[in-house]
Chains A and B, each alone.
Chain A
Amino acid sequence: MNAIDVDRLTKKFNSLTAVDNVSFSIVTGEVFGLLGPNGAGKTTIISMLATLLDRTSGKAFVNGFDISREQDAVRKSIGIVFQDQSLDEELTAYENMDFHGRLYRIPKEIRRDKSLELLKLVELDDRKDDLVKTYSGGMRRRLEIARGLLHEPRILFLDEPTLGLDPQTRNHLWEYIRRLNRDNRVTIILTTHYMEEADALCDTLAIIDRGKIIVQDTPDNLKDAIGGDMLVIESPDSSRLKSELNGFNWAKDVRIHNHTVYVNLMHAEKHIIEIVNLSGKRGIEINSVSIHKPTLQDVFLHYTGRTIRDEEASAKDQVRMRRFRRNR
């Protein structure tokens, strides 16, 4: 049985179609990544699967249960870490854990031991009796993750789990997510803006844009599909350079993003000289040239026309915006 089956799921907000006829399956025990730019519909999909949002049409099954007819069974099967904060700031970290444990009817002793164990795991055990309103953003994030794991769900949704965490904590969490997945066979669905994260954690990736799944495969297959090498040329005259390059049949794909030209080609090292010579002849200035094997960054650019760097930046801005709105 699949952990999740989604069949032509659609969500409309008035005239806006946030999720558009999406179908996919997630095999039990895998880590599944949803990758997409801001507003792609990732959170909306997760909210529907978690029974927090009604679907407009289509069907979905979570742990074999229908998301619209068997909501209680779905809720018992899942844990979720929301993109936005969902803690009670007037309670302590331990009390937040305890509240969660009680809601999921975990017996007293197990609730206490498990809470302490998880708080230790996210390194909050020494601050567990402090009110959450005194916590930093990263500490809150860690607490939310610990809380989402308390009832040992079969399926865990992580909506941007490591957004705003420092690299050390992020690595820590990756390790834990891997362990959870491997040792406890928890199926994990995560959305992320970090390519490294998607690459490091996910067995399967779905790239989603404007509510549609554009492509879905393993990270390696996605990179191989692009194939060859990526040549990155920084030039103040990028559009002219691009039209020149389009004339070569070895240039499989040429794109401009932020005054940088991205060329997908085979055997890049052979063609560099050619490009440099041509630019000299035509008087096109070149600031730098570099070669790398296709990464998920390139996959993302290829399918969405954007680089994840932009997404990262704007995602951070968004978090800042949210905080700002709240503090007013």
Chain B
Amino acid sequence: MDIVYTLWLRNVKRYIRSRSRMLGSLGMPLFFLLMLGFGLNSVVSIPGFDQGYIGFIIPGIVAMSVLFTSIFSGIQIIWDKQFGFLKETLVAPVSRMEIMIGQTFGGATIAFIQGMIILVISLFLGNHIASFAGFLIAFTFMIMIGLSFTALGIAIASRMEDMHGFQLIMNFLILPVFGLSGAVFPIDNLPPWLKSITLFDPLTYGVEGIRYGLLGVSHVNPVVSCTILGAFMLIMFVTGAYLFKKVKI
């Protein structure tokens, strides 16, 4: 546990120190929140959601913030590889599993904080919280998204030599996962073929879970969301741990 804490601590320290990273990864979610929220609030109304369009997308944007931050945190390992710091960790008498868990917790913590910042900002935009318990439900889903996608980031970073593939990941992984998740549109009204695609996107269940927590309503039953996202989290964690174990430097 000491080792896990050590790696967690390093990640969090680096995050707190790097203001540009903090602000940088808030930029996109804030942009979406303000543009879509205020742009479409008066023209779009979604049946079953009485908080308006802006209220509807807040959970989606929170999820987006957590998603982006956690994948980036996981991918940070590539920098450690390139700058040599990974060697320092790997030559120590600690198991790769402990390192992997520490990195995952660290990344998820940072992602959770970034999500919280969006959540707090949204309170100023007139978001009402259904209940305290709802808050906790939303937190749980945020943490699960954070853990899943940090682990995914680590899995990817374990197989990548350098940052050259980053554009690829951005365009073919992060954006589709976000776009297809029902973060900014209700999945119930989609044509059936598109809806079935969104149901394959693990983030859909994260967004739906947060939405249930914050608004008290969602398209997918929160228990179902929790189960599917939990399963995805486990799979990502095992994959990440497996690939990280095989990292060569």
Contact = CB atoms under 8 A, between A and B. Distances in A.
Given A75-B93, A102-B2, A86 B10 contact: no
Interface in A48-77: 50-53, 72, 75-76
Interface string B63-100: 00000000000000000001111011111111100000
A87 B89 CA distance: 10
Given A99-B10, A102-B2, A102-B3, A82 B87 contact: yes
A102 B93 CA distance: 11
B89 A103 contact: yes
Interface in A76-135: 76, 78, 80, 82, 84-91, 95, 99-100, 102-105
B6 A104 contact: no
A270 interface: no
A4 to B, nearest CB: 16
Interface string B1-27: 011011000100110011000000000
A154 to B, nearest CB: 13
A282 interface: no
A86 B14 contact: no
Contacts of A326: 82-83
B90 A76 contact: no
Nearest to B87: A86
A84 B177 CA distance: 38
Contact of A75 (B10, B84, B87, B92): B92
B187 to A, nearest CB: 40
A85 B93 contact: no
Interface string B111-140: 000000000000000000000000000000
Contact of A88 (B5, B10, B95, B249): B10
B84 A103 contact: no
Nearest to A100: B88
Chief secondary structure at chain B's binding surface: helix
Interface residues of A, number: 27
A104 B91 CA distance: 10
A90 B91 contact: no
Contacts of A52: 87, 90-91, 249
B93 A89 contact: no
B85 A75 contact: no
A88 B87 CA distance: 11
B91 to A, nearest CB: 6
A95 to B, nearest CB: 7
B17 A90 contact: yes
A76 B13 CA distance: 27
A86 B2 contact: no
B80 to A, nearest CB: 8
A319 to B, nearest CB: 13
Contact of B14 (A50, A78, A80, A91): A91
B88 A51 contact: no
Contacts of A88: 10, 14, 83, 85, 88
Contacts of B18: 90
B215 to A, nearest CB: 39
A144 to B, nearest CB: 9
B92 A104 contact: yes
Given A82-B88, A87-B84, A102-B5, 20 more contacts: A50-B91, A51-B91, A52-B91, A52-B249, A75-B91, A76-B93, A80-B91, A82-B87, A85-B83, A86-B83, A86-B88, A88-B14, A89-B83, A90-B14, A90-B18, A91-B10, A102-B2, A102-B6, A103-B88, A326-B82
17 contacts: A52-B87, A52-B90, A52-B249, A53-B248, A72-B93, A75-B93, A84-B84, A87-B84, A88-B83, A88-B85, A89-B83, A90-B13, A90-B17, A102-B2, A103-B3, A326-B82, A326-B83
Interface of B: 2-3, 5-6, 10, 13-14, 17-18, 82-85, 87-95, 248-249
For the complex of A and B, 6 pairs with smallest distance between CB atoms? A75-B93, A86-B84, A103-B92, A102-B6, A76-B93, A86-B88
